[in-house]
Amino acid sequence: MAAFALVATAVLAPLGLTGCASKRAGQGTYIARWQPAWKEQNEATYRYGLPGQGWELLLEEGTQVAWQHSTDPAVIQIYSECGSHGDSDLSDFTDHQRIDYSSWEIVEEPTGEKDAEGRPLTRPKQYFATIADREALRTTVEANLDGASVMIEYVVLKKNGCLFDLTYIAVPRSFEAHTGEFQAVIDGFRFPIRR
């Protein structure tokens, strides 16, 4: 159990998630913090899918929406930043995530094809998808955080002046088990919210 706690702490540390959180994250909707009219809104109000049973909402100051799995060292997080994120492309925004990790390698996936010598060909598991009617970059990486191996899937998109990061992080042995639950969160993502 101590090893599990250590790995769970390593998974949660880069996300700043170790306790309790935002009361603005309700059942599938995040409400941006109020800003006076003369100030630029620096986060978005958005909808998201729910990961389902086994996931506990994390409530931590500064966190918008995040869940921790109840039995596996795994976290799903959504974060928005509006106005002040700069004008980098989606690849650059994804690459900025690597700063907290001592190693970072994009996972290779099979293409289904073979080279001239019959060996399977692979490609980086990084591709563009459409989410909330915008182009999003999905990237799966193997990384090392404070000596612990983790796998991470980042989904980054920009829309209406806001940057969104949807992130799933887990220890390698648990990663594949919860990718469908992360997809459920993505499938429910909506911005802006229409009344």
Q: What is the mean pLDDT of residues 152-159?
A: 95
44, 54, 48: which is closest to 29 by C-alpha?
A: 48
User: Does this model's pTM top 0.85?
Assistant: no
What gap in Å lies between CA 177 and CA 164, rounded to an integer?
24
Q: What is the mean pLDDT of residues 101-121?
A: 89
Contact 158, 132 (CB under 8 A): no
Higher pLDDT, 98 or 175: 175
Contact 46, 55 (CB under 8 A): no
| Of the listed ranges 74-78, 100-104, 171-175, the one predicted with least confidence | 100-104
Say whether the peptide bond before residue 192 is cis (omega within 30 degrees of 0): yes
Please list, in sequence order, all residues whose beta carbon lies within 8 angstroms of the beta carbon of residue 107, skipping any fewer than 6 positions away.
124, 125, 140, 141, 142, 151
Check residue 9 and give its pLDDT. 47
| Per-residue pLDDT tens over the stretch 127-148 | 999 999 999 999 999 999 888 9
The DSSP call for residue 20 is B
- Show the domains of the chain with their CATH numbers: 2-187 (3.40.1000.10)
| Per-residue pLDDT tens over the stretch 36-81 | 665 666 788 999 999 999 999 998 888 899 999 999 999 999 999 9
